[in-house]
Amino acid sequence: MTTATLIVQGGKAPAPDALTHIAALSHASSVRPISATSFHLPRADKTPESVAAIAQYAQEAHLDVFWRDDTKLRLQNFRAFISDMDSTLITIECIDELADYHGVKAEVAAITERAMQGELNFAQSLTARVALLRGLPVSAVTAVMRERMRLSPGAEKLIAGMRAAGLYTVLVSGGFTPFAEHLQNWLGFDEAHSNTLEIVDGHLTGRVLGTIMDAQAKARQLVITTRKLHCARRQIIALGDGANDIPMLRTSGLGVAWRAKPALRTVADATLDFAPLDGVLNFFA
């Protein structure tokens, strides 16, 4: 049997009996607050039985748990943070909102969901979805950014924390350049990589220019980052929500799934279903 530090957190302060029950299941030595909504449980017994029981109870109690096996795990030991954009750092799928302006949201959203679940090849699905946007005025892009683009809870604190710890920050998105560049400036990312929509005479042509930022391209960008920083893959933290992020999380040293689709959850090192995005920082507290 091994012991680990168990991190328990949620979107609001957990009920005292919930922490007491998790502490009993794990035989943790104590319960120590990190904040009003997050807690350390040191020297918790990590067995297949305790992991399964705590995972089930935590879901019922609307809590996230993370088993920190490495007592020397420090945020400063990582060199870079790489993240998806749509439905991760922001609350929307930008292409769905553009489709809404064009009257084809239902058709595009159906293809988006199948792609995120891993049922469709991303590049093919993106090509099909963008084709449905043919003729949309570019002013709709600006309108979506102004009226509908919102940060997910904790996004600003997360990126500020990563930057304060000295991590290089990279945004990789299967979405589109105007949104990625806007988010890069908003949150202070060092780099942003996404897809470029072809625009002619102020309207979308329904085509994507250049190489599509699909799942493999995201993973390649992570490797490129390691080469740029002369670091190892284990020194990269990756964050995403869908099947398109699987290779990126698998390639990273710590892969975090945010409100994730089932396909991504199975490969992630940690999941956040209830805590805000800056809950990632509590893994190192």
Three-state SS letters, 7-34: EEEECCCCCHHHHHHHHHHHCCCCCEEC
In three-state secondary structure terms, 40 is: strand
Q: Which one is catalytic: 17, 64, 86, 96?
A: 86
Spatial CA neighbour of 8 closest among 260, 235, 270, 253: 270
CA 75 – CA 165 distance, rounded (Å): 7
User: Quick check: 116 and 261 in contact, CB under 8 A?
Assistant: yes
Q: Which two tokens stand for residue 246?
A: 């699987």
Angle of CA points 183, 188, 190, to nearest 5°: 100
86 is annotated as an active-site residue: yes
84 is annotated as an active-site residue: yes
Q: Which two tokens stand for residue 264?
A: 């991504």
Give the number of other Cβ atoms within 10 Å of residue 2's Cβ.
Answer: 9
Q: Which two tokens stand for residue 181?
A: 């560049």
Handedness of CA 151, 155, 160, 165 (dihedral sign): negative
- Phi/psi of residue 207, each to 5°? -125, 155
- Phi/psi of residue 269, each to 5°? -80, -25
Q: Which one is catalytic: 17, 69, 70, 84?
A: 84
User: Quick check: 150 and 90 in contact, CB under 8 A?
Assistant: yes
CA 54 – CA 61 distance, rounded (Å): 10
Q: 94-102 and 139-147 helices cross at what angle (nearest 10)? A: 120
Please give the positions annotated as active site.
Answer: 84, 86
